[in-house]
Amino acid sequence: MIRICLFFSALMMVFLPTKAQRYEKTTLGAKATINQTTVEIQFYSPTLVRVLKWPAGNTFTKQSLSVIKVPEKTPIKIQENKDRLLISSKELVATLNLKDGQVTFRRPDGTALLNEKGAGSSFTDFTDSGTKTYTVAQSFVLEKEEPIYGLGILQNGKLSQRNQKIRMVQNNTWDFVTFFQSIKGYGLFWDNYSPTTFNDNAEETSFSSEVGDGIDYYFMYGGNADGVVAGMRNLTGQVPMFPLWTYGFWQSKERYKSQTELVGVVKKYRELGVPLDGVIQDWQYWGNNYLWNAMDFLNPEFSNPQKMVDDVHNLNAHLIISIWSSFGPATKQYHKLDSIGALFNFATWPESGSETWPPNMNYPSGVRVYDAYHPKARDIYWDFLNKGLFSRKIDGWWMDSTEPDHLSFKPADMDTKTYLGSFRKVRNAYPLMAVGGVAEHQRAASADKRVFILTRSAFAGQQRYGANTWSGDITSSWESLRNQIPAGLNFSLCGIPYWNSDIGGFFAGGYNKSWNDGSGAKNPLFQELYVRWLQFGAFTPMMRSHGTDVPREIYQFGEKGEPVYNAIESAIKLRYSLLPYIYSTAREVTNEQSTFMRALMMDFSKDKNVSNINNEYLFGPSILVAPVINAQYTPETIVKTNEKTGWNKKDNDKEKATVTETFTQPKATKVYLPAGVAWYDFWTNQMHNGGQEVLKTTTLSTIPLFVKAGSIIPIGPDVQYASEKNWDNLEIRIYEGADGSFTLYEDENDNYNYEKGIYATINFNWNNKTKTLSIADRKGSFPGMLSSRKFKILKVMADQSTETGVKNDHKEITYMGRRIAVKF
């Protein structure tokens, strides 16, 4: 009997370890092989989990192009409960089903967050340019009424991206980021750069990518939208400070044809007294298309480029210049890059060496896109940029075609070899590599001037490169304007806060009486659209007027005193008055992972009415913006172009209407005010309770703006450019009705000394009960800082029993950098 017991005891000792080996502990978590698939769960932090899957028997290693985070040492607990493996941190529980490989995520209190669809992973054999690999897909199951946001810059006009099928391949006007976040406070980044399909329907939500040796995604929990944004930036990179001058008004067009014309624009704005911080030079300053992107002034109309740059600077303005991802065959760059095999062979813009339209294909341009994935190619790119343009003290880079332009698409184009494999494998990350190459090189070359890049495309992680992405060559139409608001909001919800659009839309030929005669600026149909777009642009991270066919400078629209001119000037001056608020918000974006353009669900997630509002948002923490996005004075004109390929000058005479309009009658539009707070009309100071729709009277010069009760907003001086005056005599507006705070931020405006702590902050705190504003001791210092200043404190209050609802109280104080309390 004793022998039998010993035998069974030994037998149990043999088999017990077999059961324990259903999974393997790893440095960051655990992994297991289930149904011929290896699944590994890695905790990068208590709120960030990486999930890897690959066919058993293979190996899967990858150096991410987007992710730069080094995993933190995270205490985790691993438990096996029947057929489930629970891997837990103090913030998250990731569960692996040991029977079918399903991964689920929940909070430690049991709150469900996201589930993979059972057996929802797939690996389909695929040969990528001769290399055996897989097409990979992963499905998830969302709650039926769960809004999700993100996916990049989308021109579909939607805020929530439920019930969408989107083919994600970078193009001119759609910039894709394989990331979404949920109203439930989590986000998911699908780390794959090949052509990808996002699909959401009643059965599942999935990502499917053409090329992948394995499945690789990151799940992050933030608790709310700001927390998710912080998680994405923690994973893929933080946002640097932009120069103060980038937040002023920018004038551009396609294109200034001489240095005399370009400098003349700045001079004219100065003569008119209309604020301006910069002008942008578009393409062909290099000459003909065979010299495409030579990064040098070879066009005889730019015969003295250093004088042009100096003239702009002497007028207290800045200059940004166009550079591209491709080179003409007569350029030095082309030959240097070709010598290391760093040029692609697919068709790109411009197709013809002739500048006529349509392109004369009897004379192909020979322009080729460069391999931005190649580190040596990025070195070459910067070497020429540095010698030809940066050395001339040009202030920033307009990186066009960073998606890049890919015309006459052929399936074989995706087999093009890059430094990192096939173009197919890394397609969507091209803008990240192109922009990153310039940003990293400039930062290494100089800490005295902050990197500023205006780019047409983006991918996850691009926020770390000092880049502001614009929404491409969109059409000049009301529909296009409407689409820009959710496009900017969804892009911001991917963790990339700097976004803008061509004010007025790019293609505007339909508003001219005859082709390209510039008469559209006098056409009321375009005038109304342009003014409304400009007012929207005043509340985006970059206010930049640009387009073709119709000139956009303020003096093209009339003279001072006329309604359209006055409306344009009013919008620009409003932008400048808010610069202290905007620059302080920029500091919150950099230091606190905040966001400029805030979808209403970010701050009012408990109000279900705002979960899919696509035509309003908060700009910074306090100002609700409801742009006028429908024509009120004129009929809407429909302008159709091929936005994906861009540069389609096809003119439609049927859409050219003749309208006479004086723009003098007041109009009205409806605005929803989120629940839970009171709101002040920015223009009249009338207070409204939240949770209701109000009818707001508008004129051509005003759009609906509302300020949240408890807000503190600094109003800056009347200036002609951003840094013209120190922020003395600021008006500090207190919107009573709730406690509030605001931190005024100042630094040297255009270097990286702020990273060394060379900056100053002043904290303002409003106690609504005691009606007291406390201004704290100034913290920090920087050269040129004001040691003392005056503040005009304006308390905005409301009495709803009066018709206007307006009462104000103000006091003037001198602030010496020491704490002071102002009681009303």
Asked whether residue 648 carries a pLDDT value surpassing 70, the answer given is no
d(CA 472, CA 171): 9
Catalytic residue among 395, 403, 681, 736: 403
Q: What is the mean pLDDT of residues 126-150?
A: 97
Residue 396 confidence (pLDDT): 98
- Can 395 be counted among the known catalytic residues? no
Residue 509 confidence (pLDDT): 87
Identify the band that residue 11 occupies on the pLDDT scale cut at 50, 70 and 90: very low
Residue 748 confidence (pLDDT): 98
Asked whether residue 649 carries a pLDDT value surpassing 70, the answer given is no
Asked whether residue 751 carries a pLDDT value surpassing 70, the answer given is yes
Residue 773 confidence (pLDDT): 98
Percent of the chain with pLDDT over 90: 90
Q: Which of 180, 175, 178, 174 is nearest to 162 (CA)?
A: 180
752, part of any domain: yes
Asked whether residue 128 carries a pLDDT value surpassing 50, the answer given is yes
Q: Which residues contact 537 (CB under 8 A, 6 or more apart)?
A: 500, 501, 503, 543, 544, 545, 571
| DSSP for 758-806, written as a single string | --EEEEEEEETTTTEEEEPPPEE--TT--SSEEEEEEEEE--TTSSS--
Residue 86 tokens, joined: 């629970």
Domain that holds residue 776: 709-823
- Cβ(579)–Cβ(247) under 8 Å? yes
550 backbone dihedrals φ, ψ, rounded to 5°: -120, 125
Residue 514 confidence (pLDDT): 55
- Encode pLDDT of 152-208 as tens digits: 999 999 999 999 999 999 999 999 999 999 999 999 999 999 999 999 999 999 999
Q: What is the mean pLDDT of residues 450-458?
A: 98
Residue 14 confidence (pLDDT): 37
Identify the band that residue 642 occupies on the pLDDT scale cut at 50, 70 and 90: low
Identify the band that residue 591 occupies on the pLDDT scale cut at 50, 70 and 90: very high
Residue 18: other Cβ atoms inside 10 A? 8
- Encode pLDDT of 242-263 as tens digits: 999 999 999 999 999 999 999 9
Amino acid at 470: W
Adjacency order of strands within the sheet including 215-221: 24-25, 29-34, 37-45, 48-55, 215-221, 186-190, 175-182, 148-153
679, part of any domain: no
548, part of any domain: no
482, part of any domain: no
Among 185-194, 510-519, 698-707, name the one with the lowest average pLDDT: 510-519
Identify the band that residue 513 occupies on the pLDDT scale cut at 50, 70 and 90: confident
Among 472-486, 510-524, 545-559, 585-599, name the one with the lowest average pLDDT: 510-524
Q: What is the mean pLDDT of residues 735-751?
A: 98
Residue 659 confidence (pLDDT): 76
User: Half-sphere exposure of residue 711, counting CA atoms within 13 Å on the CB side?
Assistant: 24
Identify the band that residue 6 occupies on the pLDDT scale cut at 50, 70 and 90: very low
Catalytic residue among 116, 128, 351, 400: 400
Q: What is the mean pLDDT of residues 811-817?
A: 97
Q: What is the mean pLDDT of residues 14-27?
A: 65
Residue 389 confidence (pLDDT): 98
- Cβ(476)–Cβ(506) under 8 Å? yes
Q: Which is it for strands 103-106 and 93-97: parallel, antiparallel or unpaired?
A: antiparallel
Instruction: Work out how many domains the chain is built from and give that number.
Output: 1
Catalytic residue among 116, 473, 607, 747: 473
Q: Which is it for strands 196-200 and 687-689: parallel, antiparallel or unpaired?
A: unpaired
Q: What is the mean pLDDT of residues 18-44?
A: 89
Residue 203 confidence (pLDDT): 96
- Cβ(614)–Cβ(486) under 8 Å? yes
330, part of any domain: no
Residue 21 confidence (pLDDT): 56
- Encode pLDDT of 323-336 as tens digits: 999 999 999 999 99
Percent of the chain with pLDDT over 70: 93
* CATH (domain of 811): 2.60.40.1180
Q: What is the mean pLDDT of residues 299-307?
A: 98
Identify the band that residue 641 occupies on the pLDDT scale cut at 50, 70 and 90: low
- Cβ(54)–Cβ(60) under 8 Å? yes
Residue 279 tokens, joined: 């002008």
Asked whether residue 578 carries a pLDDT value surpassing 60, the answer given is yes
Residue 16 confidence (pLDDT): 38
- Taking only Cα atoms into account, the Rg of the chain, rounded to an integer number of angstroms, comes to 28
Rounded to the nearest integer, the mean pLDDT of the chain is 94
- Can 746 be counted among the known catalytic residues? no
Q: What is the mean pLDDT of residues 497-525?
A: 86
Q: What is the mean pLDDT of residues 454-472?
A: 98
Asked whether residue 147 carries a pLDDT value surpassing 70, the answer given is yes
DSSP 72: P
769, part of any domain: yes
- Cβ(44)–Cβ(235) under 8 Å? yes
Q: Which residue shows structure tokens 């919150």? A: 588
Amino acid at 574: L
Q: What is the mean pLDDT of residues 415-437?
A: 98
Residue 638 confidence (pLDDT): 63
- Can 400 be counted among the known catalytic residues? yes
Q: What is the mean pLDDT of residues 736-743?
A: 97
State the DSSP H helix or E strand holding residue 470, giving kind and residue range, or none if neither: strand 467-470
CA–CA distances in Å: residue 2 to residues 6, 10, 93, 823? 6, 12, 45, 90
Asked whether residue 802 carries a pLDDT value surpassing 50, the answer given is no
